[in-house]
Amino acid sequence: MKYAPRKVYIKENGSYTELSYKEFCSRRETDRAYADKLFIPVQGCLIETEQTHYVEFYRDKERWRYLKKIDADNSLLSLEAFESGDDNSIDFIADEAVNVAETVVHRMMLDKLRSAIAMLSEDEQKLVNAIFFKELSEREWSSISGIPQKTINDRKRKILAKLKKLLEK
């Protein structure tokens, strides 16, 4: 046992009797009947209990230990972490996997790309849409549009060069 309980409560004659821990230890050494008795800790005391209550108590205790371990492994927090009053609570909320600056730059680049695509001719937009958004191959777009695959390849390269110039402005 990691600590000495303040009191020990044992069942005698159908009711609980309070003993000091020293008294309990001396009784346990002299009386073999105490070897089979089961106790659970409650508020710094040991209380004798039946086997069903003993098993249930330690099953619940083990479950809470397991859940706390899972929470710690997954970096989950309880509300108590926020009630502690320290100013570091917001640090737990921040998602370090998301870089806000990168997200903003990415969205700005997408907006700029959309604007540049809007400046292309209708045929150029159809080709960009088919190859890059619908993910069709040049060969598939060739059979759909009736334009030779080599011509589609040449147009695609020219469109990409045009988009690059528009994005660099």
Domain locations in the chain as residue ranges = 7-74, 100-168
The CATH superfamily of 100-168 is PhyR, sigma-like (SL) domain (1.20.140.160)
CA dihedral 43, 48, 49, 55 (to 10 degrees): 70
What does the pLDDT profile of the chain (169 residues) look like in tens digits?
A: 566 788 888 888 888 888 888 888 888 888 888 778 888 888 888 888 888 988 999 999 899 888 888 877 776 666 665 565 555 555 555 555 667 778 888 888 888 888 888 999 999 999 999 998 889 999 999 999 999 999 999 999 999 999 888 888 7
Would you tell me the crossing angle of helices 149-168 and 100-118 to the nearest 10 degrees? 120
| pTM above threshold 0.85 | no
